[in-house]
Structure 1
Amino acid sequence: MLANYLIGLREGLEAALVVGILVAYLVKVDRRDVLPRLWAGVAAAVVLSLGFGALLTFGAYGLTFQAQEIIGGGLSVVAVAFVTWMVFWMARTARSMRGELESSLDRALAGGAWAVVVLGVVSVGREGLETALFVWATVQSTGGGDAPVLGALLGILTAVAIEVLIFRGVVRVDLRRFFAVTGYLLVVVAAGVLAYGVGDLQEAGVLPGRTALAFDVSAAVPPTSWWGTLLQGLVNFTATPSWLQVAAWLAYLAVVLPLFTAATRGPRRAPRASGTADAVDPDAAATDPSTTAPTTAGAPR
């Protein structure tokens, strides 16, 4: 549940930040008449994400065991690829996200009503589809149940509440630190999902070595115990992994963690010119996750 809460919180906050920036910009340029179109696009993105989640959940019924394992393993690998791309994308582009969104909105306003609707669908739908896919993969790896879905829903609701508080200027969030910490946690979760996907593909006979177990700690960490359930929910821990699963888990972390560390550090800032140390551009502050300024700075109070 906690891993899915983290997924919902991070993806939900990204989507909420995008919507907050777009809404603030429309208010700033006195185009409140376009807000209904933007909200229509956001609503369409939510419906699309829910439909995608339903398709993943119910679409495999009636298939053979092998087909279900192939689909489950393949989608788990795809989910890991999406989440990995997402954490690196945020690390690289968070500084310029506000400017890019405002430029896209300017083009959409020039293109008419449908362009604004499409912008809303694309901006929020990407986060929604990623959330649906990764939550589905983690639910599959933990054996199903309502708790993982509830965790994701609570995470999304928390993200919406945080964005509302940021928009109103009630709280200030160090977004760079937030996305860095959650990025590290999601990398560890993704490694577990990758190992689970490899296990599914081994069960289907696509990959070899399912019976070659690296270790068996089911006696020390029973899967039905509270600590076994906790480890499974947090990092997709399995007590009887194959050597290929362990190799995939280790290889993923060995490659992704150093690269993500380098991406989150980023280039050092040039020193400020004399006399400007205390000057802060509200829009720049809103774009830069290393600051604690509200992301909707620039909107009328």
Structure 2
Amino acid sequence: MISSLVLSFREGLEAVLVIGIILTYLTQNNKQKLVKYVYWGTILGVLTGVIGGYIGFKEAKELEEKGADLFEAIMMLVSAGLIGYFVVWMSKQNKNISQSVRNSVDKASTGFGLLVLAFLSVVREGIELIAFILTKVSANASNVALGAALGIILAVIIGYLIFKTSLELNLKIIFKILGIILIFIGAELFGEGMAKLIPSAGELLEEGGSILFGAIAMIYFLKDDIKKLLKRD
């Protein structure tokens, strides 16, 4: 339950922050009439994620009975791949995450465009969360669902508090921390996935794979921060 809680909290908080930025930006520019489209897009995204998660977990349970280790290994490696994608995507974003989202809002401009933007923002995190949760398919379904629900609720509460305090000051740091947490999770998933895929390699492959994935992802994700530290020295 703890792992699903952490994963859903991370994915949920990122979605909440992005939607919060969109709503704040629209309000600041006196475009409150367009806010409803963001809400509709968010609701559709959440419903899509819930339905997709339910169907995916149900189907995964059936596949797991036929070949548990192989299925879990594949899902772990897929999840690690998604995290790798996240690292690359984040590195290509503007240094100011808030400004990057605002630029997307300006490009969307219309009600339908904002609905799609909100929908995709939520669904993207939902797909990642579903992939992560499917790595826990052998666990008790109720515990996984409870952990995911608690994580999302906590993300909404934390997100609300952030927008009531100092968004501009904390947003970049929050995304950085969330990214680092995700990399550690990805390293663990990659190592475990490789070990399940090639059982004969044992713990050596698991530990080596985790260290390799974590080191490469961390260096890539923090490369700008590392350059700044080296310049200071």
The bucket for the TM-score relative to the shorter chain is 0.7 to 0.9
Counterpart position of 2:134: 136
Counterpart position of 1:253: 214
Counterpart position of 1:117: 115
1:24 paired with 2:27, answer: no
State the alpha-carbon separation in 1 of the partners of residues 197 and 131 from structure 2.
Answer: 17
Cα root mean square deviation, aligned: 3.0
State the alpha-carbon separation in 2 of the partners of residues 64 and 13 from structure 1.
Answer: 30
Find the partner of 1:127 among 125, 128, 142: 125
2:122 aligns to what SS in structure 1? helix
Q: Unmatched 5+ residue regions in structure 1?
A: 203-209, 214-240, 269-301
Counterpart position of 1:72: 72
Instruction: Give 1:173 shift.
Output: 6.4
Find the partner of 1:167 among 160, 163, 186: 163
Q: Give the aligned length.
A: 230
Counterpart position of 1:57: 57
More helix by share: 2
1:59 aligns to what SS in structure 2? helix
Instruction: Give 1:80 shift.
Output: 0.9
Instruction: Give 1:6 shift.
Output: 2.6
Counterpart position of 1:201: 197
Task: With a CA cutoff of 8 Å and minimum separation of 6, indicate the structure with the bigger relative contact order.
Answer: 2
Judged with a 3 Å threshold, the aligned counterparts in structure 2 of structure 1 residues 159 and 64 are, in CA distance, closer, same or farther, namely closer
Max Rg structure? 1
1:109-137 deviation per Cα after TM superposition (whole angstroms, max 9, x unaligned): 2xx43222111111221112112211332
Counterpart position of 1:274: none
Instruction: Give 1:177 shift.
Output: 3.7
Counterpart position of 1:232: none
Instruction: Give 1:8 shift.
Output: 2.3
TM-score, normalised via structure 2 length: 0.81
Judged with a 3 Å threshold, the aligned counterparts in structure 2 of structure 1 residues 103 and 251 are, in CA distance, closer, same or farther, namely closer
1:218-258 deviation per Cα after TM superposition (whole angstroms, max 9, x unaligned): xxxxxxxxxxxxxxxxxxxxxxx4x4333322322342333
Judged with a 3 Å threshold, the aligned counterparts in structure 2 of structure 1 residues 24 and 247 are, in CA distance, closer, same or farther, namely same
Which residue identity is paired with 1:96? N
State the alpha-carbon separation in 1 of the partners of residues 145 and 48 from structure 2.
Answer: 17
Which residue identity is paired with 1:258? I
1:49-96 deviation per Cα after TM superposition (whole angstroms, max 9, x unaligned): 112212321113544855554443222211111123324544653633
Correspondence 1:217-256 to 2 at 5 A = 241=203, 243-256=204-217
Tell me if structure 2 keeps the 8 A contact 1:70–1:200. Answer: yes
Tell me if structure 2 keeps the 8 A contact 1:135–1:148. Answer: yes
Instruction: Give 1:27 shift.
Output: 1.3
Tell me if structure 2 keeps the 8 A contact 1:108–1:115. Answer: yes
1:184 paired with 2:172, answer: no
State the alpha-carbon separation in 2 of the partners of residues 108 and 171 from structure 1.
Answer: 22
Tell me if structure 2 keeps the 8 A contact 1:88–1:260. Answer: yes
Judged with a 3 Å threshold, the aligned counterparts in structure 2 of structure 1 residues 253 and 63 are, in CA distance, closer, same or farther, namely closer
Identity %: 25
Tell me if structure 2 keeps the 8 A contact 1:91–1:180. Answer: no
